[in-house]
Amino acid sequence: MNPSNPEIDPGSQDGQLTTARDETEESCLSGGPGWKHYEKRDATNGDRAVGITACLTSESIKGGTGTDKNIRLPGYQWAQKEAWKTGRKSWDAINNCHLLGKGLGGSGTDLDNLSTCSREANADSMDNSPNLARNMDYYEDLARKAVTIDKQAVYYTVTPKYAGGRTVPYGYQMTARGVNRDGSPGLKFDDIVYNEMYDRKRKWAFNLGYRLDGDLKPVPVGGTP
């Protein structure tokens, strides 16, 4: 395969762009073609998502897909019940979070790219609950604008962070390093978005990734739906 002419890998998810070049930060920022890589889920901990790495270019961010209500993730039903306890409607408060966002070319149906999250962690709330200062959508928008407006190549990663064997993360480590066409430094961030949800009854936010059951054991774990 010619590295200057990326082709669709027939064995990849969602027409993942691949080339003969290594999928590395160096190749991405030195003018390589775009690509995306979803880490395989962690089978030893309830098939929880592990993370994604991508080289974002104007071509690689095309073709993202939305989520499917018939596809639910480890801990999703548990999180819905937690939302009800706080006076929230589960369909407003709990999301299938893309790790590689739809607007960056990410799949909404590949379980390797999805994680159970609060709406506040994902994007602005849908039920007038307080928003997080900076959610995943905020950082995705920075990356998208760097690629589409500033014509940067951006090396981008998202890693769910878990407390022990839980299947719902307490946060998402999001990093980006961009380079402009002239080789000068571009976009750069390395931040964590916490998986927090607002409790309407108690009037405070709590983290879905640090919950305990009545016996003070971590939840959700293993095969908890």
Confidence of residue 115 (pLDDT cuts 50, 70, 90): very high
- Model confidence, pTM: 0.89
Give the residue among 96, 106, 122 at the shortest CA–CA distance from 38.
Answer: 106
Residue range 124-158, pLDDT digits in tens: 998 888 988 899 999 999 999 999 999 999 999 99
Confidence of residue 91 (pLDDT cuts 50, 70, 90): confident
Give the residue among 83, 78, 117 at the shortest CA–CA distance from 99.
Answer: 117
* Ranges of H-type helices in the chain: 25-29, 76-85, 90-93, 119-122, 136-148
- Mean model confidence pLDDT for the chain: 90
Average pLDDT (20-27) is 75
The pLDDT of residue 31: 85
Can you identify the CATH homologous superfamily of domain 7-210? Extracellular Endonuclease, subunit A (3.40.570.10)
Q: Is the pLDDT of residue 9 over 80?
A: no
Q: Is the pLDDT of residue 7 over 80?
A: no
Q: Is the pLDDT of residue 170 over 60?
A: yes
> Domain segments of the chain: what residues?
7-210
Confidence of residue 201 (pLDDT cuts 50, 70, 90): very high
The pLDDT of residue 6: 34
Instruction: Give the percent of the chain with pLDDT over 70.
Output: 91
E strand or H helix at 18, and its extent?
Answer: strand 17-18
What secondary structure does DSSP assign to 159-207, as a single string?
EEE-STTBSS-SEEEEEEEEE-TTS-EEEEEEEEEE-EEEETTTTEEEE
> Alpha-carbon distance 157 to 121, whole Å?
16
Rg (C-alpha) for the chain, rounded Å, is 18
Assigned token pair, 162: 């878990």
Q: Is the pLDDT of residue 41 over 60?
A: yes
Q: DSSP state, 30?
A: T
Confidence of residue 5 (pLDDT cuts 50, 70, 90): very low
Average pLDDT (59-82) is 96
Distances (CA, A) of 17 to 37, 63, 157: 9, 11, 16
What b-and-e string marks burial along 186-212, b requiring 16 or more CB atoms within 10 Å of the CB?
A: bbeeeeebbbbbbbbeeeebbbbbbbe
The pLDDT of residue 72: 93
**E strands in 35-113:** 35-38, 52-56, 94-98
> Alpha-carbon distance 113 to 110, whole Å?
6
